[in-house]
Amino acid sequence: MRPFLFLLLLTFSCAQKPELSKSVSDSVMQQVYEEIKTPYKYGVVFQHPDTSKMVDSPTIFRENDLWYMTYIVFDGQGYETWMAESADLLHWESKGKILPFTEGTWDENQKAGYPALINTSWEGDYIWELFDDSYWMTYLGGSSEGYEAGTLKIGLASNSDFSMLDSWDTSNEPLLSPEDADVRWFENKTIYKSHVIRDKEKLTGFPFVMYYNAKGDTADYESIGMAVSNDLKSWKRFGENPVITQGQGICGDAQIVKIGDLYVMFYFGAFWKPGAFERFACSYDLVNWTDWNGPDLIAPSEPFDQQYAHKPWVIKWEGTVYHFYNAVGDQGRVIALATSRDLKK
């Protein structure tokens, strides 16, 4: 389907109703799938030079005609956050570490960062938007050593110039914690990846919305919940229940894009059927999400992603959809890419 016609159909489907629908029709869900699907696996686009270290969780943005990717590295001690640069989305060069280990802090051994306020417009400019003259990242933070060990919380980092790699301020207290008084049943054990968007329409009543996956102590599975904020520093949990869950396994690592009047959430699923795989859901109001019940967007099929194909970041640029994901297979834990057209021809 041509992009203009696709956007027109989505806008029309929402505009027919004076109030935002709480569900998305099967026909619109199918249109979205046709728009975002990426059947061509390009392969591995980034891995750590030391293959004993695991690379994870890409976030892609654009600045001054260059592409940047934040990613996280696990080396046995915990997570640190790094940044890479590319001119073409295919060839990436690491620029260095941006959120390192510290000593004596609540987050000394875990700092897995995720840039906040990346422009969500599909086929947009994908810039990292400023707020109060700073760039912001939320991050998975904790003090315990090991792979996602101990009680994990959500931290906040800021920097007036993201190119100054070592200038990130992580002195803030945790934004959300499983130990908070208002914690909900599905998040009172640990909290994982967070994704913050700007909602100029204030559909929730707030300009900033956060999605994050978490696990509860009475429900040993991961679900995606919501929080809202006026200033990025103080957050209020939104709703009593998750917005995406299967009641088993994992639903996690949400990314939100806006196509016409419709919001699309990319996320990964795992262990509610074999392996780990990429899914999506759609919403008109950022709160009520209709889950896609068709084929996976990405699933294990190649030696480099034979174990897991998960943790999405998806953009459309110059007519091509690029679906970056974390692949686990015969090359270790790496960043792979699938696209809407065959880039190898």
* CATH of 3-339 among 3.40.1280.10, 2.60.40.10, 2.115.10.20, 1.10.287.610: 2.115.10.20
Question: Which residues make beta-bridge pairs with 228?
Answer: 209, 236
- By residue count, the chain amounts to 345
* pLDDT tens, residue by residue, 306-318: 999 999 999 999 9
Q: Distance between CA 137 and CA 194 in Å, rounded?
A: 9
- Residues 6 or more apart whose CB falls under 8 angstroms from that of 86 comprise 66, 67, 68, 69, 92, 93
pLDDT in tens, 215-266: 998 778 999 999 999 999 999 999 999 999 999 999 999 999 999 999 999 9
Q: Residues 90-128: pLDDT tens digits?
A: 999 999 999 999 999 999 999 999 999 999 999 999 999
Look over the chain and give the mean of its residue pLDDT values, rounded to a whole number.
93
CB contact set of 64 (below 8 Å; sequence gap of 6+): none
Contacts of 151 (CB under 8 A, 6+ apart): 142, 144, 177, 178, 179, 189, 190
CB 141 within 8 A of CB 174: yes
Domain boundaries, given as residue ranges, for the chain = 3-339
Residue 18 pLDDT > 50: no
- Sign for the CA dihedral angle at 146, 149, 150, 152 comes to positive
pTM above 0.75, yes or no: yes
